[in-house]
């Protein structure tokens, strides 16, 4: 795109125009203001030549057009633009603060519980708003921490207010359930703890049971004769044995920060300064949306990636830890790992292969519904 200027010329007008024509200077427009003064549009690149040719006339630039005109306009009004941007930025910062946490629920104890949980994760008055993904993570953590009390929670931002809606978990009164059931073992185990609240207890602590054995029967017997059937309730815990094979890498990558950092800015996901570092993390990210443009201000912190090697003990320790984490996740709070031992270990160039023997203490009972007089058990509602 060409750059143009509009110049004002006084004195010796006819001579000035003739000079331009004779020297092949492009003239795009002439506006006569008076007999001895004109406005003329020329290329910016021709300005020095025009000044030299028109040495008898008084020449001054009135206006720039094209990209150079935009640059000059911004330069001349830079402080106004800075003030406007700062006003928008200040307004966005102020409206990014949360001034009220509105927890909506009729139960004051539930409201108090949720308020304490939110404060644990930094959700409280006069703090900066959180991103949607971060709020979702916090919401899920609160639900995980209060499975027996909370069924559902939503966190909605309305301006400078967080609106928290909760659905309380209602535990069904099992005494109102209909039908008959046993509690059976769904694993081979050595029983360590028995809680029988209703039913015919068939096992005790120290007994070894196999998968499918009845632990608490719904059949109430007297002298081996069935006198009635009920909904057996209770919990049975036992030690369960697992053998796990795992292949664990000997080499791993470690991030080491160099201490080098710099400020950067992106506008609509277009980075202002080209990448300076090969590896870096974005920290202290601040996002603003002004006049339809998405601004992101952040620091780039450089780090290097170094390949390191576990020694034999470190590799074994981390492999066991990985197995225990997987088992704990599977148990989902209904048991724990109480013992582990390495049975076999082999190492090649890049991995260590291990067979690990693990003992857990966990809930081994589950309901098995049945119909009176039927030999076929109904497992539809078993969990």
SS3 assignment, position 218: coil
pLDDT computed for residue 376 by the predictor:
44
Task: Give 111-158 pLDDT, tens digit per residue.
Answer: 999 999 999 998 888 888 888 888 889 999 999 999 888 889 988 888
Domain ranges of the chain: 4-69, 97-168, 178-238+365-378, 244-250+309-361, 256-307
Task: Give 248-288 pLDDT, tens digit per residue.
Answer: 888 888 889 998 988 888 888 888 788 788 889 988 888 77
pLDDT computed for residue 383 by the predictor:
43
Q: How confident is the model at residue 381 (pLDDT cuts 50, 70, 90)?
A: very low
Cα 216 from Cα 365, distance rounded (Å): 9
Q: How confident is the model at residue 209 (pLDDT cuts 50, 70, 90)?
A: very high
Question: Any idea which architecture 97-168 has in CATH?
Answer: Roll (3.10)
Kindly state the percentage of the chain with pLDDT values over 90.
Answer: 33
Q: How far is CA 354 from CA 74, 253, 323, 351, in A?
A: 68, 21, 11, 10
Q: How confident is the model at residue 373 (pLDDT cuts 50, 70, 90)?
A: low
Cα 349 from Cα 291, distance rounded (Å): 57
Cα 106 from Cα 201, distance rounded (Å): 41
pLDDT computed for residue 176 by the predictor:
58
CB atoms near residue 308 (< 10 Å): 10
What does the pLDDT average to over 161-190? 82
DSSP state letter for 77: T
Q: What is the mean pLDDT of the chain?
A: 86
pLDDT computed for residue 379 by the predictor:
44
Say if residues 308 and 252 touch (Cβ distance below 8 Å). Answer: yes
pLDDT computed for residue 177 by the predictor:
65
pLDDT computed for residue 382 by the predictor:
45
Per-residue pLDDT at 173 exceeds 70: no
pTM: 0.47
pLDDT computed for residue 374 by the predictor:
56
- 4-69: CATH topology is Alpha-Beta Plaits (3.30.70)
Task: Give 14-23 pLDDT, tens digit per residue.
Answer: 999 999 999 9
Task: Give 55-73 pLDDT, tens digit per residue.
Answer: 889 999 988 888 877 887 7
What does the pLDDT average to over 317-326? 89
CB atoms near residue 34 (< 10 Å): 8
Q: How confident is the model at residue 184 (pLDDT cuts 50, 70, 90)?
A: very high
Per-residue pLDDT at 231 exceeds 60: yes
pLDDT computed for residue 171 by the predictor:
63
Per-residue pLDDT at 343 exceeds 50: yes
Domains 4-69 and 97-168 share a fold: no
Say if residues 34 and 9 touch (Cβ distance below 8 Å). Answer: no
């Amino acid at each position: 795109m060409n750059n143009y200027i509009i110049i004002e010329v006084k004195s010796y007008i006819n001579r000035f125009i003739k000079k331009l024509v004779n020297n092949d200077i492009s003239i795009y427009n002439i506006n006569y203001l008076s007999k001895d003064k004109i406005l003329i549009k020329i290329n910016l690149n021709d300005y020095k030549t025009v000044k030299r040719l028109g040495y008898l006339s008084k020449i001054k630039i009135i206006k720039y057009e094209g990209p150079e005109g935009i640059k000059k306009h911004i330069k001349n009004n830079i402080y106004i633009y800075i003030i406007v941007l700062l006003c928008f930025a200040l307004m966005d910062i102020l409206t990014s603060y949360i001034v009220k946490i509105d927890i909506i629920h009729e139960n004051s104890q539930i409201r108090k519980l949720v308020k304490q949980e939110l404060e644990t994760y930094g959700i409280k008055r006069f703090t900066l708003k959180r991103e949607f993904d971060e709020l979702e993570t916090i919401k899920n953590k609160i639900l995980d921490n209060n499975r027996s009390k909370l069924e559902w929670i939503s966190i909605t931002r309305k301006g400078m207010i967080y609106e928290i809606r909760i659905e309380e978990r209602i535990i069904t009164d099992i005494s109102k359930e209909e039908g008959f059931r046993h509690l059976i073992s769904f694993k081979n185990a050595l029983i360590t703890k028995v809680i029988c609240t209703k039913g015919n207890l068939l096992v005790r602590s120290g007994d070894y049971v196999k998968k499918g054995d009845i632990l608490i029967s719904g059949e109430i017997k007297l002298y081996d004769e069935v006198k009635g059937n009920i909904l057996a309730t209770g919990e049975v815990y036992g030690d369960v044995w697992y053998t796990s094979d795992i292949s664990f890498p000997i080499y791993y990558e470690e991030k080491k920060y160099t201490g080098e950092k710099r400020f950067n800015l992106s506008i609509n996901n277009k980075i202002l300064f080209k990448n300076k570092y090969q590896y870096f993390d974005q920290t202290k990210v601040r996002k603003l949306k002004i006049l339809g443009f998405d601004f992101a201000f952040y620091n780039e912190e450089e780090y290097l990636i170094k390949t390191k090697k576990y020694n034999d003990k470190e590799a074994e320790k981390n492999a066991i830890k990985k197995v225990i984490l997987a088992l704990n996740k599977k148990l989902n709070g209904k048991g724990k790992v109480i013992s582990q031992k390495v049975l076999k270990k082999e190492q090649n160039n890049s991995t260590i292969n291990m067979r690990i023997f693990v003992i857990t203490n966990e809930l081994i009972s589950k309901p098995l519904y049945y119909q009176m007089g039927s030999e076929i058990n109904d497992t539809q509602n078993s969990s």
